[in-house]
Amino acid sequence: MTHRTPPDRTTQPTEARPQRGVTATAFAVLRRHRGAVAAATVRVVSLSGLAGLLMTAVTFALAWPVFTHMRTEQIRYHQLEDPYLHDPTELVRVALGALPLFLLLLCTGSAALQGVCSRAIAAGADAPSAEDRSRTAASGTLRGVLAVYALRGLIVWPLPLLVSAVAHGLTGYQLDTPEPLERGSLPYTLVAASPAAAVLVAVLVRLALSLAPAAAAEGLGARAALRRSWSLTWTRTGGARVLALALPLAALTAGVLRLVVELALPLRPLVRALLEGATGNFFAGYYAGILAPVIVGILVTAALTFPLTCGAFAALHDRLRSSRTAPRPAGGPATSTA
């Protein structure tokens, strides 16, 4: 009769053991699988950097007529002894045309790291390294996470872009004197403030869908992953935990990016002098010098923060899903209090 207490002593410590935090779990798992995660990070960042440099070179080649026109105008204004202020509008158009390719490259690298970190989280901190996953499963995970990124972007960003375009069309300074809305009136103020409200809505929706890549890395389809992220976030504690994780990670990423870009600023005159000396075009060297620290900052920041970010969101997704589906303890109170 009194022999029921020893089994209770063995089960009580496991039930009373405090659960690790999400960040601590992610750190423990990434440390346990540091070989696979580090190898994947180096591989992804290196390939992404090479592809990004190639795409940047192609973009500069496409924009070379613009650089040539700027140089010609500079020479002409110099002969007239007038200052020359170049107009970067054409360069902005070329950059906007190439932007989707750079976003696709960024999403591909992020999806690859998300798959590696999600497999590590699924294996756990006490399991052996999860490098035995087949190539077909990894490619399927990559396609699923990329589909989530594409669908999530279509859900989140059209609203603020459309509202900003409409607000600019109704309140912009490019309008002639008969303006659609009178400046200082209530409709003008509301329309002028609508882009900020639309961005706030987009940020909230984006936070609600933050767990979708981790869900897709487990094999769910894009729509099912987005639905799961939405349902896990809009719970009593889910939204607060997502926000509590997203804000420090965003601050960490922004801080590392700013620090690395500042440290890489000495590259700016070096790259500018090299390209200007090789091509004889000051403007090409000038814009290449501006981009060089930014490219270095993005690559180093991705290598340092992406594994932690992907692992933390994968751990939070696993924690929220398990707490939602975990069965309630069915044991009688006599067993736990004996």
Look at residue 158 in the predicted model and tell me its pLDDT: 94
Rg (CA), the chain: 26
Look at residue 324 in the predicted model and tell me its pLDDT: 67
Look at residue 10 in the predicted model and tell me its pLDDT: 42
Q: With beta carbons less than 8 A apart as the criterion, state whether 86 and 74 touch.
A: yes
Counting the structural domains of the chain, the total is 1
* Poorest-pLDDT segment among 65-74, 133-142, 212-221, 235-244: 133-142
Q: Is residue 111 part of a domain?
A: yes
Q: Using a pLDDT cut of 90, give the percent of the chain over it.
A: 46
Sign of CA dihedral 207, 208, 210, 211: positive
Nearest alpha carbon to residue 45 among 261, 304, 262: 304
Structure tokens at 77: 């204004």
Confidence (pTM): 0.79
Amino acid letter, residue 61: A
Look at residue 20 in the predicted model and tell me its pLDDT: 62
Nearest alpha carbon to residue 238 among 158, 316, 292: 316
Q: Is residue 273 part of a domain?
A: yes
179 against 213, higher pLDDT? 213
Look at residue 73 in the predicted model and tell me its pLDDT: 85
Look at residue 15 in the predicted model and tell me its pLDDT: 44
CA 278 to chain centre: 35
326 against 307, higher pLDDT? 307
The CA distance from 35 to 31, in Å, is: 8
Taking CA 327 as the corner, what is the angle to CA 324 and CA 329, rounded to the nearest 5 degrees?
130
Q: Is the pLDDT reported for residue 327 higher than 80?
A: no
Q: Is residue 103 part of a domain?
A: yes
User: What's the pLDDT tens digit per position in 69-115?
Assistant: 988 888 887 788 778 888 888 899 999 999 999 999 999 999 888 88
The whole domain housing 230 covers: 23-324
The CA distance from 37 to 129, in Å, is: 10
The CA distance from 304 to 309, in Å, is: 10
277 against 132, higher pLDDT? 277
Residue 275 CB-density burial (10 A; 0-12 exposed, 13-18 middle, 19+ buried):
buried
168 against 224, higher pLDDT? 224
54 against 184, higher pLDDT? 54
Q: Is the pLDDT reported for residue 268 higher than 60?
A: yes
134-143, 185-194, 323-332: range with highest mean pLDDT: 185-194
The CA distance from 193 to 289, in Å, is: 36
Structure tokens at 236: 């009593």
Q: Is residue 15 part of a domain?
A: no
Averaged pLDDT for residues 155-170: 91
Amino acid letter, residue 109: G
Q: Is the pLDDT reported for residue 27 higher than 80?
A: no
User: What's the pLDDT tens digit per position in 38-68?
Assistant: 888 899 999 999 999 999 999 999 999 999 9
Q: Is residue 13 part of a domain?
A: no
Q: Is residue 16 part of a domain?
A: no
Look at residue 174 in the predicted model and tell me its pLDDT: 64
Look at residue 336 in the predicted model and tell me its pLDDT: 39
Look at residue 176 in the predicted model and tell me its pLDDT: 62
User: What's the pLDDT tens digit per position in 127-148?
Assistant: 444 444 444 455 557 888 999 9
Close Cβ partners of 4 (under 8 Å, ≥ 6 residues apart): 335, 338
Residue 61 CB-density burial (10 A; 0-12 exposed, 13-18 middle, 19+ buried):
exposed
The CA distance from 129 to 206, in Å, is: 32
Q: Is residue 258 part of a domain?
A: yes
Q: Is residue 12 part of a domain?
A: no
**pLDDT band per the 50, 70, 90 thresholds, residue 177:** low
User: What's the pLDDT tens digit per position in 165-175?
Assistant: 988 888 877 66
Look at residue 233 in the predicted model and tell me its pLDDT: 92
Look at residue 206 in the predicted model and tell me its pLDDT: 94
Arithmetic mean of pLDDT over the chain: 82
Q: Is the pLDDT reported for residue 16 higher than 70?
A: no
